[in-house]
Amino acid sequence: MKNALLLLVLSLVAAHLHAQSGVRVYDYKNQWNSDNALLDVGTYTGSAIPNNLNNRISSIKIFSGYQVVFSENEDGTGYSKTYISQVGHVNENLPDILHNKASFIRVLPISTSQKKGVGKTETSGGVSYAQDMNASWYYNWTATGDTSTSIEFVPMVHTWTGSGVFSKIDNLKNKVSHLLGFNEPDNDHEAGSRGILKNPVTAADEYEKLLPTGLRLGSPVTTQNNDLNSVWLEPFLSEAYHLDVKVDYIAVHWYDWDSNPKNTRGADPDHIFNRFKNDLLAIHAKYGLPIWVTEFNANPWRWTYVQKGFMEKALPWLESQNFIERYAWFECFQVDSVKARCNLKENGSLTDLGSYYSAHSSTDAIPENKWIDPVLLSGSELDNNSSSRKTTIRNGTNDVSIQIVPNPVNNYLRIKGIDDDTSIQIFDMQGKLLLKNSGRMTDVSSLAPGIYLVQFGDTVSRFVK
């Protein structure tokens, strides 16, 4: 009898523990001690959000081991925020900008990866390569990878944002939680070969197409230096901020190109490391977001002993910095007649460099609970009043939301919720026609600062330049 009672108690406890998965959502603030809608792994949008809580969520309880993304719009766009519950539970009230406005929820089991990873250019063999390096994650610059093992695969949208790439991501189901953005859109030989990505402003529109995945999103990764200057990443992030397009972490490439590496092949590894460290500290100080160093080495021109000396300095430092979430060494390409000097494997065996990389122990990529507002530029803060960044128009006939973003506008005015061939006309406040266009984006850089009227179809609204 006692044994039967014990088994009953244990089964009830197990059932209770099993039930405590995913996230609970509530329609009032500070409701964490009550039971309400429990959302397990999956995607919930609009009327499919349980208990009639579409646009009515105020507070949340996320159970340990889960990552949850909340977004304004049913397609995952609009203001979004990612929460990660790594230790214990996360009890939070949604920020004002999402309070009673969340229409998209993606619940995923969190990744338990450590910081150290690898990049493998082939779409196969990444798992075994990661295992050789004692790495817990890998990527291959594509959206196709092996998710059948404990080695985490991180997909990338390298260049194209067509339905094919998103079908590949969807096929990964709930086995991936992170997504890397465009690969070097400032480089004509990489993602920059697609003109719309070369321009950081129009690239922000393309990047917005990643939001419906509900994954934790990495920034497009630029060539070295264009992550700190005003050429690409800074204007991209500024535009993303105005469009309410979230970026969860910054991806970085670093090769010490500024040090004339071709003519300094035997450079002091300490000096190389100091430049590496200072650049990463500057990037973090500028944008305030976690960093993934997805490609780095001492430079392909540098001798192997220089690579080893640099690695011996870099890896312990990367592991010690809380803002560095992940890193992946990049094997050298051949720059002259001498074989590459920073490969981790050659002829099927670990090199001396690879042996060191493999033996170096790694720590948890995300050791604590995390939720970061997308404060994208140094000194900027999110304005909780979303109307200061966009104007939303409700069409009473079919309840379609049309948004004018950003508002105030910089150089490009976007109108979300209209067809691509919709006629756009812009007038001054006296009714003088200034610009005509068709489609969802209009270049208004020629307009002087002021208040303007925009007409599309039968709708007229104001915007500020």
pTM of the model as a whole: 0.82
Lowest mean pLDDT among 41-55, 137-151, 434-448: 434-448
Residue 228 · residue 197 · CB < 8 Å: no
**Model confidence at 339: pLDDT above 60:** yes
Helix boundaries (H) for 402-454 = none
- Same structural domain, 212 and 347: yes
Q: How far is Cα 293 from Cα 371, in angstroms, rounded to an integer?
A: 20
- Taking Cα atoms as reference points, which of 296, 242, 269 lies closest to residue 406? 242
Query: Is the model more confident about 213 or about 409?
Result: 213
Residue at 328 is within a domain: yes
pLDDT confidence bin for 13, thresholds 50/70/90: very low
pLDDT confidence bin for 8, thresholds 50/70/90: very low
**Model confidence at 452: pLDDT above 70:** yes
Q: How far is Cα 399 from Cα 457, in angstroms, rounded to an integer?
A: 16
> Measured between alpha carbons, how far is residue 312 from residues 17, 348, 355 in Å?
44, 23, 12
pLDDT at 448: 87
**Model confidence at 89: pLDDT above 80:** yes
- Same structural domain, 105 and 134: no
pLDDT at 241: 84
Residue at 421 is within a domain: yes
pLDDT confidence bin for 10, thresholds 50/70/90: very low
Q: What is the arithmetic mean of pLDDT over 32-54?
A: 93
Residue at 375 is within a domain: no
Q: What is the arithmetic mean of pLDDT over 4-11?
A: 42
CA 1, chain centre distance (Å): 55
**Model confidence at 178: pLDDT above 80:** yes
Residue at 371 is within a domain: no
Q: What is the arithmetic mean of pLDDT over 101-125?
A: 90
- Same structural domain, 65 and 129: no
Q: What is the arithmetic mean of pLDDT over 24-33?
A: 92
- Same structural domain, 328 and 209: yes
**Model confidence at 311: pLDDT above 70:** yes
pLDDT confidence bin for 244, thresholds 50/70/90: confident
Range of the domain at 415: 390-464
**Model confidence at 334: pLDDT above 80:** no
Residue at 411 is within a domain: yes
- Same structural domain, 294 and 411: no
Q: How many domains does the chain fold into? A: 3
